[in-house]
């Protein structure tokens, strides 16, 4: 055992600083070629990605908007069918009111004076009825009516 | 061609690849030896060198020339080596094997090691140092870099580097005195 061995001693340092490692023949030439090839590959990948990225962004933006709208419609559905039906009923109802077949529309449904449940039906005078029929309905129609005594 | 010209050439339209190949040609050997002294194995050094240059290629357009090109490349290679060593240590920890023993065996069996017994013991002693301390020791002892330069590469204060080198020196000295 050499107790006076010093790695900073110039005679030791020179020897220890020598490179003890080796590389295979032609290694540095090959590694440069490899790096060059890898960088070309990397370049190709970067080019492809640069082209495809904005298009992917656009497509995904559309997809997000569509999904968002679709989800909104799924959560809060608009009941167009009912609205249409109600509108149609109201309009047809108003025609019947105008024609005289109905004495009220849906609009005045809540007027208590016209409500048959709260207002008693007035008795129809028989004379008035005969007068009305004779004035408004012809004989042929009357003959078809099945009149009870 | 000096570094400034290489960087100007790199920024020219369509000449990036050519300029970078010139940079690889100029610095690959020096960087390889720096990495090899850190990891000892030729295959690992080869992988780290290639990764370092690929990282440098991606980052070079953003290189602000605040440091020399070689210092910047040296920093990338050192960081790559340190990351590799950290992962290697973690892998050996998970496989319940002693990493320093593995490295020691690697040096014994390495067909690309051509040194004598003293150099082998010296290399083994260096491999017992913690990775960053090893980087400091290699840069100072082998490459004879100034502390300011090492500080730029490792982003550590000069005082801390001096302390780190002193500890490394003491440890290696102790191992060598016991072995030689």
A1 closest CA partner among B72, B71, B174: B174
Q: Is the pLDDT of residue A82 over 70?
A: no
| pLDDT of A74 over the 90 cut | no
Give the contacts of A115 (CB within 8 A, at least 6 positions apart): A109
CA distance B167 to chain A (A): 14
CA distance B179 to chain A (A): 7
Asked if B24's CB is within 8 angstroms of A42's CB, the reply is no
What pLDDT was estimated at residue A81?
54
Looking at chain B, the whole-number percentage of residues with pLDDT higher than 90 is 57
CB B161 within 8 A of CB B150: yes
Cβ distance A20 to B54 less than 8 Å, yes or no, reads: no
Mean pLDDT of B111-134: 89
Average pLDDT over residues B111-120: 86
- The complex scores an ipTM of 0.83
Give residue ranges of A with CB < 8 Å to any B CB: 1-3, 5-8, 13, 15-24, 27-28, 31-32, 34-36, 38-40, 42-43
Pick the most confident of A12-21, A88-97, B148-157.
B148-157
Query: How far B98 CA lies from chain A's nearest CA (Å)?
Result: 24
Chain B partners of A40 at a C-beta cutoff of 8 Å? 17
Average pLDDT over residues B19-46: 93
Cβ of A1 within 8 Å of Cβ of B141? The answer is no
**pLDDT of B112:** 84
Which residues 6+ apart lie within 8 Å of A100 measured at CB? none
Q: What percent of chain A has pLDDT over 90?
A: 15
A-chain CB neighbours of B46 within 8 Å are 27, 31
The DSSP secondary structure of A50-112, one letter per residue, reads HHHHHHHHHHHHHHHHHHHHHHHHHHS---HHHHHHHHHHHHHHHHHHHHTS-S--STTTT-G
Q: pLDDT tens digit string along B46-101? A: 999 999 999 999 999 988 888 889 999 999 999 999 999 999 888 877 666 667 67
Query: Cβ of B115 and A40 within 8 Å?
Result: no
pLDDT value of residue A1:
47
A108 has pLDDT over 80: no
Confidence (pLDDT) at A146: 62
- pTM (2 d.p.): 0.66
Q: What integer pLDDT is reported at residue A119 of this predicted model?
A: 56
pLDDT band at A144 (very low <50, low <70, confident <90, very high): confident
Chosen for mutation from B13, B14, B29 (greatest number of chain A CBs closer than 10 Å) is B29
Name the minimum distance, in Å, from the CA of A11 to any CA of chain B: 13
Q: What integer is the mean pLDDT of B28-34? A: 94
């Amino acid at each position: 055992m050499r107790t006076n061995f010093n790695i900073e001693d110039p005679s030791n340092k020179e020897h220890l600083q020598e490179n003890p490692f080796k590389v295979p023949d032609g290694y540095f030439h090959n590694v440069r070629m490899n790096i060059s090839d890898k960088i070309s590959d990397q370049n190709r990948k970067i080019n492809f990605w640069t082209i495809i990225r904005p298009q992917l962004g656009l497509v995904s933006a559309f997809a997000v908007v569509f999904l968002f709208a679709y989800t909104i419609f799924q959560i809060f559905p608009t009941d167009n069918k009912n609205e249409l039906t109600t509108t149609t009923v109201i309009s047809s109802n108003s025609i019947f009111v105008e024609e005289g077949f109905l004495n009220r529309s849906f609009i005045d449904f809540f007027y208590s004076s016209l409500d048959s449940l709260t207002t008693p039906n007035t008795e129809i005078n028989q004379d008035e009825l005969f007068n009305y029929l004779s004035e408004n309905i012809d004989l042929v129609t009357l003959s078809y009516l099945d009149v009870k005594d | 061609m000096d570094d400034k010209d290489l960087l100007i050439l790199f920024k020219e339209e369509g000449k990036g690849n050519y300029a970078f190949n010139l940079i690889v040609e100029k610095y690959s050997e020096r960087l390889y030896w720096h990495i090899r002294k850190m990891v000892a194995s030729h295959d690992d050094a080869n992988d780290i060198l290639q990764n370092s240059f690929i990282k440098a290629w991606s980052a070079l357009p953003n290189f602000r020339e605040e440091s020399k090109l070689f210092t910047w490349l040296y920093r990338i290679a050192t960081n790559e080596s340190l990351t590799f060593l950290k992962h290697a240590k973690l892998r050996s920890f998970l496989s319940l094997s002693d990493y320093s023993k593995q490295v020691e065996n690697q040096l014994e069996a390495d067909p690309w090691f051509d040194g004598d017994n003293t150099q082998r013991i010296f290399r083994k002693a260096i491999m017992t140092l913690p990775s960053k301390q090893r980087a400091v020791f290699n840069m100072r002892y082998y490459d004879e870099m100034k502390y300011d330069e090492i500080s730029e590469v490792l982003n550590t204060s000069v005082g801390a580097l001096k302390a780190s080198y002193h500890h490394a020196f003491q440890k290696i000295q102790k191992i060598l005195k016991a072995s030689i």
